[in-house]
Amino acid sequence: MMRSYNIDADSDSLIHLVAPTTRIEDKMLYVQDIGFFVARENFYMRRHALHSYLIQYTIEGEGYLEYENQAGYLPADTIMWIDCRNPQFYRTSSRTKYWKTIWVHLYGANCQYYYEQFLATNGGKNMARLSLSNHVPDFIHQCIELYQNFDCDLNTDIHASALLANILSECITLLSGSERTMPAHVQKARSYIRSHYTESITLELLAGELFISKYHLQRLFRQYMQMSPKEYLCQLRINHAKQALRTTNLSVREIAAEVGYNNVSHFIHLFQKYERQTPGSYRTSWSRLSY
């Protein structure tokens, strides 16, 4: 790992270096280090090739980040979420000369997937302003408390992993849900698909209903839903089919037609793609359960 830095920080800053007690790297999320930092005017960090993801949340003051052809300020209630294997540079903002943050370095199972979902939700950007009602700093504080006595055991690691999942999920869902306004065209497209999923719906038809270019609709929908309108329609139909398989005695052919597929072979192929089993196998496996 290559780095240069100047740790210009107040004495009440703290850091916990965490060594998980079990070999959990491939099994769950885990903390590498975590802390609370009050950076003064001359603080900066420049590095790369560190196998870690960093989530840093600004409490007061302001930071500044240069990362992956992005550059921007990090005011209060803003997070930066970066893959530390890539070159990064961050520092106290020259505008405030003060940067109070709470952070966690983490790694482990599904880290990459969470990170990719965050970028997809946030338009490819590594900085995001969260609502005042977010719980990210609370979850990080709870993680700090877990390790404050350096008394690590499996239960602590499992508890910390759950808190990390809460942190990552909070960052993603706040940006993809009601905290970020979804364009009216995406809302209307989703509503139309829900109301007409049993019918034949093409991108051209959907765009025509909304008086929008089909290419623009496709881009918008994928940006905010992380899938295309066609994928959304397929998943909606499969979910309705699963409900029918578990709660009715309709044949697979009848269920296929009921959710909008006249070609039963095509329906079975799509069902296997999404569920990794045939409709018949799905029905059989759930029919064994007693409630």
pLDDT of residue 58: 97
Does the structure show a pLDDT above 70 at 178?
no
Q: How far apart are CA 62 and CA 129, in angstroms?
A: 12
CA angle 137–105–25, rounded 5-degree value: 120
What's the rounded mean pLDDT across residues 189-204?
93
Question: CA 222: distance to chain centroid?
Answer: 15
Please write the tens of the pLDDT for every residue from 44-65.
999 999 999 999 999 999 999 9
User: pTM, whole model, 2 decimals?
Assistant: 0.72
Please write the tens of the pLDDT for every residue from 247-286.
899 999 999 999 999 999 999 999 999 899 999 999 988 8
Give me the long-range contacts of 183-189 (CB less than 8 A, separation at least 24).
Answer: 183/220, 183/224, 185/210, 185/212, 185/216, 185/217, 185/220, 186/220, 186/221, 186/224, 186/225, 189/217, 189/221, 189/229
CB 46 within 8 A of CB 88: yes
Confidence tier at 96 by pLDDT (50, 70, 90): very high
| CA-based max dimension of the chain | 70
Secondary structure (H, E, C), 86-117: CCEEEEECCCCCCEEEEEEEEEECCHHHHHHH
Query: DSSP letters along 240-262, please?
Result: HHHHHHHH----HHHHHHHTT-S
pLDDT above 70: percentage of residues in the chain: 95
Q: What's the order of all strands across the beta sheet hosting 78-83?
A: 14-17, 29-39, 99-108, 53-61, 78-83, 127-129
Confidence tier at 222 by pLDDT (50, 70, 90): confident
Mean pLDDT for all residues in the chain: 90
Tokens standing for 30?
A: 């885990």
Helices 203-210 and 214-225: crossing angle, nearest 10°? Answer: 100
Q: Could you tell me which of 262, 259, 291, 254 has the C-alpha nearest to residue 274?
A: 259
Tokens standing for 130?
A: 């969260």
Does the structure show a pLDDT above 50 at 127?
yes
Please list, in sequence order, all residues whose beta carbon lies within 8 angstroms of the beta carbon of residue 212, skipping any fewer than 6 positions away.
185
Backbone angles phi, psi at 247, to 5 degrees: -120, -5
CB 163 within 8 A of CB 142: yes
